[in-house]
Structure 1
Amino acid sequence: MSKKIPLKNRLRADFTKTPTDLEVPNLLLLQRDSYDSFLYSKDGKESGIEKVFKSIFPIQDEHNRITLEYAGCEFGKSKYTVREAMERGITYSIPLKIKVRLILWEKDTKSGEKNGIKDIKEQSIFIREIPLMTERTSFIINGVERVVVNQLHRSPGVIFKEEESSTSSNKLIYTGQIIPDRGSWLYFEYDSKDVLYARINKRRKVPVTILFRAMDYQKQDIIKMFYPLVKVRYENDKYLIPFASLDANQRMEFDLKDPQGKVILLAGKKLTSRKIKELKENHLEWVEYPIDILLNRHLAEPVMVGEEVLLDMLAQLDKNKLEKIHDLGVQEFVIINDLALGHDASIIHSFTADYESLKLLKQTEKIDDENALAAIRIHKVMKPGDPVTTEVAKQFVKKLFFDPERYDLTMVGRMKMNHKLGLHVPDYITTLTHEDIITTVKYLMKIKNNQGKIDDRDHLGNRRIRAVGELLANELHSGLVKMQKTIKDKLTTMSGAFDSLMPHDLVNSKMITSTIMEFFMGGQLSQFMDQTNPLSEVTHKRRLSALGEGGLVKDRVGFEARDVHPTHYGRICPIETPEGQNIGLINTLSTFTRVNDLGFIEAPYKKVVDGKVMGETIYLTAIQEDSHVIAPASTPIDEEGNILGDLIETRVEGEIVLNEKVK
C-alpha cells in the first residue's frame, strides 16, 4: 500500500517499505560550497584563493634587496549575464585583481645586512577573468555550458601494504608510504633479505639508516629508538638478564630459570601479568638467558677494556667473542633485543648495508662525519651528477620533508597520520616531523611481525573527494609556482638601481591565465554538461571520477580499484558506472550521502539501542564506521522500531558477521 503525502497543491504517493524521516538534501550543495569556499572567505575561514597566494608570497631575491608581498585580492562584477555569455560565445566570469606590495631595502655596503626600508610601492594588478559558477553549478566557457566533475583520489597520509615478492616465491614484501598533497613521496620497504630501505619519489633505494643519519641521528640514538636494550651479566658460568626486560603475556621461547637454575616457567607457557606480579613479590630480579639465544645477538654498546674498544657497537656475538669478553674480565655488556615482540633485525641489517654504501663515499669525498656523508648520499640519489657540499646536502634533506614551501600534508594528511600512528601532532603542522618518520618505520616493523594492521587502499577512509574549488586551487598553485620562479630569475639577472621598479614589472599574469583556462577547457575533469534531461544534468554534476591529474590512469588500473567495496554502502551507487575502459572508475554519489569539510564521504545511519532503532540520524565516515556494527537498511523491524529476529546479518570492519540484535 502507498502512503499519501500532501504537498502544496497535490498529493504524493510514497511506496517505500522502509520508513524514513530523511529529506532529500540539496544534491548540488557540494559543488556550490566548494567553489564558494575557493572564491570567498566564510565563517572566519580564509578563502582557497587567499591560501594559494599566501603560500607563494612573499617573494624575495637572493641578495635580500627586494621583497614582493601579497596584500589582498578583490573581485569585480561580471559584465554579462549567463544568457548573454551563452549568446555571445564568451566566458561568464568576474575580474580578479591582486594588491601587491614592493619593498626596497637599504643595505649596509660592508656587511650586506638590511638597515631598514628604503621605499614601499603598492599596486593593484589585474590578473585575469575568473570563470564564475552559475546558479545551476555549471560554468559558461566560450558560450558552452561545462561541468567540473568531482575527483575521488587517494587521501594524503600514511598507508601500509603487503605485496608478493617478484624475486622470491611465497614471500610477502611489506611497504609503508607517506603520501603528501604536495612534495616528495617517501617509501619504506623490505627487500627479500629483510633489509629495510627508504625510497624518495621512486628513485634508487637507500638503507633506511642513511635517512636517519641524514636527519642528524647518531648510530646509538637510532638503536635506542627502535629496539629495547638488555643488560647481560655473566655470573657463575651463566648469562643473566633482568626479569623486567621480558615481554608480558607472551609465550616463553625458553625455560624460565632463576639464577640458581630452578625452573619457574616451562617453554611454551604464557608469562601472564599475574605471574609477573607474583615473581616480583618474591624479589626475582635476574633470570637465566640461554647461550643459544644469546649467540647471534648484536651489541648495543661497545665493550670497553680500559680505554680500548674490545668489540664495537653492532658486533654480532659468537662463541669466540664471548670467550674473549670473559677472558678480559668483562662481567656486563648490553645487547639489542631484536627478538622482542613486534621487532626484527631489519634496522641492524640496514646498518650493515649502509656501511657498504658509505665506505666508497668516504674515500671519494674525504669526509669522516657519517651523518654528512648520509646527506650527500641522498643528494646524489635525488640529483645524480650535481656537485654537492656538506651544507648544501643537509639543506636539501631538510627542504625535502620539513619545509612548508615544498612539502604539504594538508590537514587531512595530518589527521590521517595522527589517527593511524597514534600521534598527537597539532593540525596546523602540515610538514613531516621526525616523529612521523620514526613512528612510520616502527609501525612497518610491527606489521612485518604480525602486530600491526595493513591498509586497504580502496577503503573510502583512504580516498577523499576533491571538488571543483580544491581542483582549481591546485591548478592555480602550479601556475603561481612558475610565476614565482620567473620573478626570482628576473630579480637575479637585474642590475643597477631598482628605484623605478614597479610591482607590475615583475608580476606576469600570463602563466596564471594559461593554467586556469587549460583547466576549464582541456582538463580531463572539465566536461560538456549532459543536457539530455534535468535528471541526467544533476547526475553529471554528482559524478565522481578516479581519473584526472593526480588520479589513476585507466590503462594501468587493476580489478581491485574498480570493484565495489563494502565502504561504498550508503555512499556511492554500486550500479551506476559506465561499461568499457572506465568501469568502476567513474561513479556517482548516493542520494542521502554528504561530504564533510575534509572531503570524506559520510553516510546516514540510525542508532540502535538494545535492539531498538532510535529516531536519531547520525552521519559517519568510512573510518568512523569501522568501530561500529552495521546492519542493512532492509533489516525487518516492527512499527515501534524493534528489530525482528534474534540473529542479524551485519558488517563489522568490512566482514559480514551474524550478530545478536542487542549488539
Structure 2
Amino acid sequence: MFAKSRVINRQYFGKDIQNFMEIPNLIDIQLSSYESFLQKEKLDNNEPLENKGLQEVFTSTFPIVSPDGNMSLEYEFYQLEEDNIKFSELECKQKGLTYSVPLKARINLNFKDSGAILQKDIYMGDIPLMTDRGTFVINGAERVVVSQIHRSPGVIFNHEKGVYSSRIIPYHGSWLEFEIDQKKELIYAKIDRKKKVLGTIFLRALGYSTREEIIRCFYKTENVKVDPKNKDSLVDRVLASAVKIKDENGEEKVLFRAGEKLHPHEVDDLITQNVKEICVILFDARKRKGDKEEFNPSLDSQIIINCFEREDMKYTKEGAFNEEPTLEDALSAVFTVLKPGEPMAAEVAKNELEGMFFNIRHYDLGRVGRYKLNKKFENYSDPVDTLTLVKSDIINTMRHLIKVYIGNELLDDIDHLGNRRIRSVG
C-alpha cells in the first residue's frame, strides 16, 4: 500500500529576470581577453597592432644586440598561419591533439658595419586557439583557463608588527620597500627584501648628491633674516641650505651645513659672522595661500633630518665619508647589501641600479601599476605609457609613508578588492 502523494501548489512572486535585464554574455571576458592577447581580428584585417598581449611580448624582447654592437636582431611583425591549421576542433578531440595554429615572426638580422639586412620568417611554435565557447582543446580534452585574483601592481602602505612600511610592487622586476624605525624615527629602503639601507643613502645612490637637494624634495623652505632682535625665534630652526662665509684669505667655507639645528650659541655665531639671511625648513603640513603644489605640502616630521644625523654618526665614525657621502660611497653601501662580497666599479653599479628600476627590460609596472601610482599621489604628470619608475615615484612613496606614520594619511587594506586585479586568460 503506497501513500498518496500530495501536489503542493507554489506561488511565484518574483519577477522574471529576462523581463527587465538581458542576460549578458557570460564568457565574453574569456573571449575578449584572448582576442586582446592575439589581436586576431586586426591581423585578419591587416590593421596595425596595439602594443599589448603577444605584440608587447615581442616588442619588449627585441631588439637583441650583440656584445660588440655590430649585429642586432629586430622584430618586425608576427602572423598566425590559419591556412596551415592541420586539424579542426572536432578532429583534435577525436585524435587526442591540441587545437592550435602555427605562429611565425618576421625577424631581421642587421649588420651595422656593412648595412646588410637578412630577413626571415621564423616558426616560433604552435599557439592554442580558443573555441567559440571560451575553451581550449588540449590533447583532445576541452579545458578552461580560470581567471584568478592577483595582488595588483602599484604601491601599498601597511602597518604590521609595529613597523610602518610601503611596497612598490611591479608587474615584473625588483620589489622596492621602505620602512620606518619608530624608535629612532629613521626611514630605510630595501630592495628585493634584502637588508635595509638608510633612506637618504639610497637617494644619494639615485643621484641626489647634496643635503639641499634631498631637503627640497620633502620640505618647503623660507628665508628668514638674522637679527639680534629675532634671535630667540631662530633657535631650534633647521637649516635648509648651508651657511657659507669667507675666511681671511677670501675663500668660501661652510659655517653650518644644511640639515643642522640651530642652538643658541650657533645663532650667536651667525650674528658674529654678520650673516644677514638664512634659509630654513618650514615644518608645516598645511597648505598655505599661494602654494602651487596642492598635493605636495611640507612634511611635519624630522625623519629625513634624523637620517642626516645617522649618516654623520655611522659613516664618519667608520672613516668612509668626509663631510657628505658621495655617489660612490652611497652606491657602495647599496651594493654591499645587494651583492655582498662582489666589489663593483661605481659606473657599473650606477648603471645596474638605474637598470633595476628605470629600464623597461628589467622593470615593468604595467599600465595598472602606473595608474595606481598616479592616482595614489594625485600626480597625473607621468603618462600612463611610463611603465618604469621615475625618481618622483620614489620621493612620493617616501613622503607618503612619512605622512602615514605621523597620521596625515591613511593605511591601505591589502585584502581590499581595490588592491587586487583579475588576471584572465589573455
Q: CA shift at 1:140, angstroms? A: 1.7
1:318 matched residue in structure 2: 263
Pairs within 5 Å for 1:401-420: 401-420=357-376
Contact persistence 1:92–1:140 (CA under 8 A): yes
2:414 matched residue in structure 1: 457
- 1:301 and 2:291 correspond: no
Q: CA shift at 1:356, angstroms? A: 4.8
Q: CA shift at 1:20, angstroms? A: 7.3
Pairs within 5 Å for 1:241-390: 289=233, 294-295=235-236, 297-306=237-246, 307-338=252-283, 340-341=285-286, 342-356=299-313, 358-359=315-316, 363=320, 370-390=326-346
Deviations 1:223-279 (A, max 9, x none): 122112233434354337xxxxxxxxxxxxxxxxxxxxxxxxxxxxxxxxxxxxxxx
Partner of 2:231, secondary structure, is: strand
- 1-structure distance, mates of 2:314, 2:100: 57
- 1:188 and 2:195 correspond: no
Q: 1:163 aligns with which of 160, 181, 190?
A: 160
- 2-structure distance, mates of 1:408, 1:188: 19
Contact persistence 1:358–1:374 (CA under 8 A): no
- 1-structure distance, mates of 2:179, 2:242: 29
Q: CA shift at 1:344, angstroms? A: 0.5
Could you tell me which amino acid in structure 2 is paired with residue 227 of structure 1? Y
The alpha-carbon distance between structure 1 residues 455 and 369, as it changes in their structure 2 partners (threshold 3 A), is: closer
- Which shifted more, 217-226 or 24-33? 217-226
- 2-structure distance, mates of 1:14, 1:389: 78
Q: CA shift at 1:440, angstroms? A: 1.8
- 1:62 and 2:2 correspond: no
- 2-structure distance, mates of 1:369, 1:195: 17
Could you tell me which amino acid in structure 1 is paired with residue 257 of structure 2? D
2:295 matched residue in structure 1: none
Q: CA shift at 1:383, angstroms? A: 1.8
Deviations 1:330-372 (A, max 9, x none): 45433323355542011111222334555478649x9997122
Contact persistence 1:91–1:140 (CA under 8 A): yes
Q: Which runs of 5+ in 2 are unaligned?
A: 1-11, 43-47, 247-251, 287-298
1:399 matched residue in structure 2: 355
1:225 matched residue in structure 2: 217
Partner of 1:239, secondary structure, is: helix
2:141 matched residue in structure 1: 144
Q: 1:447 aligns with which of 397, 404, 417?
A: 404
Q: CA shift at 1:127, angstroms? A: 1.9
Deviations 1:591-649 (A, max 9, x none): xxxxxxxxxxxxxxxxxxxxxxxxxxxxxxxxxxxxxxxxxxxxxxxxxxxxxxxxxxx
1:618 matched residue in structure 2: none
Deviations 1:511-532 (A, max 9, x none): xxxxxxxxxxxxxxxxxxxxxx
1:101 matched residue in structure 2: 108
Deviations 1:204-225 (A, max 9, x none): 1111111221121122111122
Could you tell me which amino acid in structure 1 is paired with residue 218 of structure 2? F
Pairs within 5 Å for 1:62-81: 62-77=67-82, 78-81=85-88
Q: CA shift at 1:14, angstroms? A: 7.9
Deviations 1:470-501 (A, max 9, x none): xxxxxxxxxxxxxxxxxxxxxxxxxxxxxxxx
Pairs within 5 Å for 1:435-584: 435-469=392-426
- 1-structure distance, mates of 2:406, 2:253: 38
- 1:421 and 2:421 correspond: no
The alpha-carbon distance between structure 1 residues 234 and 367, as it changes in their structure 2 partners (threshold 3 A), is: closer
Q: CA shift at 1:465, angstroms? A: 0.8
2:7 matched residue in structure 1: none
- 1-structure distance, mates of 2:409, 2:79: 50
Q: Which runs of 5+ in 1 are unaligned?
A: 1-12, 107-115, 166-172, 241-288, 470-663
1:577 matched residue in structure 2: none
2:193 matched residue in structure 1: 202
Partner of 1:148, secondary structure, is: coil
Partner of 1:224, secondary structure, is: helix
Determine what percentage of the aligned residue pairs are the same residue. 37
The alpha-carbon distance between structure 1 residues 390 and 188, as it changes in their structure 2 partners (threshold 3 A), is: same
Q: TM-score, normalised by structure 2?
A: 0.83
- 1-structure distance, mates of 2:226, 2:109: 73
Q: CA shift at 1:325, angstroms? A: 3.3
The alpha-carbon distance between structure 1 residues 58 and 381, as it changes in their structure 2 partners (threshold 3 A), is: same
Contact persistence 1:362–1:368 (CA under 8 A): no
Deviations 1:386-426 (A, max 9, x none): 22111111111211111111111111111111111011211
Deviations 1:525-544 (A, max 9, x none): xxxxxxxxxxxxxxxxxxxx
Partner of 2:134, secondary structure, is: coil
Partner of 2:104, secondary structure, is: strand
1:30 matched residue in structure 2: 29
The alpha-carbon distance between structure 1 residues 41 and 15, as it changes in their structure 2 partners (threshold 3 A), is: same
Count of paired positions? 387
Deviations 1:298-353 (A, max 9, x none): 32223334234332332233333333334444454333233555420111112223
- 2-structure distance, mates of 1:367, 1:326: 24
- 1:125 and 2:115 correspond: no
- 2-structure distance, mates of 1:310, 1:127: 67
- 1-structure distance, mates of 2:323, 2:336: 15
Contact persistence 2:211–2:259 (CA under 8 A): no
The alpha-carbon distance between structure 1 residues 421 and 340, as it changes in their structure 2 partners (threshold 3 A), is: closer
2:231 matched residue in structure 1: 239
Deviations 1:96-154 (A, max 9, x none): 12221111232xxxxxxxxx41x221112222221221222121211222211111111
Partner of 1:461, secondary structure, is: helix
CA-atom RMSD in angstroms: 2.7
- Which shifted more, 24-33 or 366-375? 366-375
Partner of 1:426, secondary structure, is: coil
- 1:154 and 2:151 correspond: yes
- 1-structure distance, mates of 2:30, 2:323: 57
2:165 matched residue in structure 1: 175
